[in-house]
């Protein structure tokens, strides 16, 4: 069993990294049409995808040994990690206490579809201060387009039950929302649903980009779950076509702009949208999200059997680094293969990216999405480039204002009053800044249209949580 008992950390080892562990592999209790992770069970055929106690202990020990930074995050993902039952994660807590060094702070995160959340789960999360990422794609009609159970029925009601359990136990949660072909034109409605109806304070938007080639696109368009009578694909980051569920490249940026124009007027300092936070950090030269950092490689993935891959999005044979039962985790993260993987993000930028005026904010985006052609016909341009460029340029004035406010020791939320003053100068019938082509008053102004989507029954939410007086 790999250990650092007698061996020092590699000299090039990073002080910290953020590993996503998959204790149930790709196994899930629902069947989201766009979830290509479902296909990853083909990597381990005829195996029960469950992490053993031996692998759990090896993982926790090595993770804590690997970090020189004072804080370590134990992050659980899937598939669906609640399939492992609560007792598995109780053991993980005990192992953290067994192996953490004096003064070493350990934080716990957990990504779930919410279907199995109940009092036991949520009491456990609260007791150990977990941050829970809950997957929701917006109001019922949008969520249920692709997030289906194995009977091809929508999962919205079951997810909302899990959300109510999180609120009942006062568990910190953030929303993980994919941006896809169904919700890509409804940024404001999706955001308002999270803010006003789900009381979300942290939101992360994740673009759905499913790649395929001419030989696989028809099969890919049917989804990634195993079905009788048709070929099963192992999803890999290859091909220059995208499925019909994928978000449009420019439309992804328009979605973000739509959300931003709502947020910058009402919610700065109250609701935290990951993309907005990391963009503001980039104005100070800090890159806290791998997607828009100059290099990457500090976000490996761990499968249930101890196999380590370069990234959660690259769980495929050519990116397997090794196994923690054979090599220590930090040696895999510090390996030449992993460093090359991370540096290639910077070294493979197209000429268009290298000369782009928002390069320092974008840095070419995630390598998984670099399969388009640049304006000069060079391969390796990000499929989302038009949307990312639109977002970074559009938000630049407000971001620069917030950066100046911080430099003056003022809260960035002061940008809301400055934005309101600019709105007043333009008047209610000026074109809306969100680029929709509508008048401001009837878009992001005080006569914005009501959402066309169904609302939560908040009275039943209060009753279920015991909040009624």
CB distance 13 to 333 below 8 Å: yes
**From 144, 267, 312, 423, the catalytic residue:** 312
* Tokens describing residue 45: 């055929």
Cα(25)–Cα(37) distance, rounded to whole angstroms? 9
82-113 CB burial, b ≥16 within 10 A, e <16: bbbeeebbeebbebbeebbeeeeebebbbbbb
Nearest to 105 by CA among 131, 132, 58, 69: 69
Query: How big, in percent rounded to 5, are the helix, strand and coil portions of the chain?
Result: 40, 15, 45
Residue 401's Cβ-side half-sphere holds a number of Cα atoms within 13 Å equal to 15
CB distance 215 to 241 below 8 Å: no
CB distance 209 to 180 below 8 Å: no
Q: Where are the beta strands (DSSP E) in 225-306?
A: 241-242, 272-273, 301-302
CB distance 453 to 139 below 8 Å: yes
Nearest to 135 by CA among 201, 206, 188, 74: 206
For residue 314, the surrounding DSSP H or E stretch is none
Question: Which DSSP string do the residues of 392-427 spell out, in sequence order?
Answer: HHHHHHHHHHHHHHHHTT--GGGHHHHHHHHHHHH-
Residue 379 phi/psi, 5-degree rounding, is -70, 150
Reduce the DSSP state of residue 132 to 3 states and report it.
Answer: strand
Cα(144)–Cα(182) distance, rounded to whole angstroms? 10
Cα–Cα distances (Å) from 355 to 217, 283, 350, in that order, read 33, 18, 9
Q: Where are the beta strands (DSSP E) in 226-367?
A: 241-242, 272-273, 301-302, 307-309, 320-323
423 is catalytic: no
Specify the DSSP class assigned to residue 303. Answer: -
Cα(176)–Cα(163) distance, rounded to whole angstroms? 13
CB distance 23 to 107 below 8 Å: no
Active site residues per annotation? 312
């Amino acid at each position: 069993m790999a250990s650092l008992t007698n061996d020092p950390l590699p000299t090039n080892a990073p002080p910290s990294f953020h590993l996503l562990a998959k204790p149930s592999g790709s196994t899930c209790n629902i069947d989201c049409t766009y979830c290509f992770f479902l296909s990853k069970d083909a990597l381990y055929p005829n195996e029960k995808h469950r992490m053993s106690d031996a692998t759990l202990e090896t993982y926790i020990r090595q993770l804590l040994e690997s970090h020189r930074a004072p804080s370590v995050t134990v992050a659980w993902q899937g598939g669906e990690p609640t399939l492992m039952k609560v007792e598995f994660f109780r053991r993980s807590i005990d192992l953290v206490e067994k192996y953490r060094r004096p003064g070493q702070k350990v934080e716990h995160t957990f990504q779930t579809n919410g279907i199995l959340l109940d009092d036991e789960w949520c009491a456990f999360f609260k007791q150990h201060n977990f941050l829970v990422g809950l997957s929701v794609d917006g109001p019922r009609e949008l969520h249920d387009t692709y997030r289906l159970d194995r009977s091809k029925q929508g999962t919205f009601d079951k997810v909302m039950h899990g959300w109510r359990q999180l609120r009942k136990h006062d568990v910190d949660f953030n929303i993980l929302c994919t941006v896809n072909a169904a919700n890509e034109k409804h940024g404001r409605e999706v955001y308002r649903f999270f803010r006003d109806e789900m009381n979300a304070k942290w939101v992360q938007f994740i673009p759905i980009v499913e790649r395929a080639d001419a030989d696989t696109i028809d099969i890919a368009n049917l989804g990634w779950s195993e079905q009788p009578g048709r070929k099963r694909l192992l999803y890999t980051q290859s091909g220059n076509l995208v499925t019909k569920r994928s978000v449009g490249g420019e439309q992804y940026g328009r979605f973000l702009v739509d959300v931003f124009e709502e947020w910058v007027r009402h919610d700065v300092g109250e609701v935290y949208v990951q993309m907005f936070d990391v963009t503001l950090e980039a104005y100070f030269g800090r890159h806290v999200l791998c997607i828009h950092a100059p290099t990457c490689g500090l976000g490996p993935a761990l499968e249930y059997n101890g196999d380590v891959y370069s990234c959660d999005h690259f769980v495929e044979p050519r990116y397997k680094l090794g196994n923690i039962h054979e090599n220590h985790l930090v040696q895999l993260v510090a390996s030449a293969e992993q460093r090359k993987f991370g540096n290639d993000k910077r070294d493979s930028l197209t000429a268009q990216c290298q000369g782009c005026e928002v390069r320092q904010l974008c840095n070419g985006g995630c390598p998984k999405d670099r399969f388009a052609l640049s304006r000069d016909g060079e391969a390796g341009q990000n499929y989302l480039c038009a949307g990312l460029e639109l977002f970074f340029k559009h938000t630049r004035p407000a971001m620069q204002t917030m950066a100046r406010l911080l430099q003056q020791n003022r809260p960035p939320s002061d940008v809301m009053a400055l934005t309101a003053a600019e709105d007043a100068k333009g008047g209610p019938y000026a074109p809306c800044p969100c680029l929709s082509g509508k008048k401001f008053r009837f878009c992001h102004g005080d006569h914005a249209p009501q959402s066309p989507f169904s609302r939560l029954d908040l009275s039943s939410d209060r009753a279920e949580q015991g909040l009624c007086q």
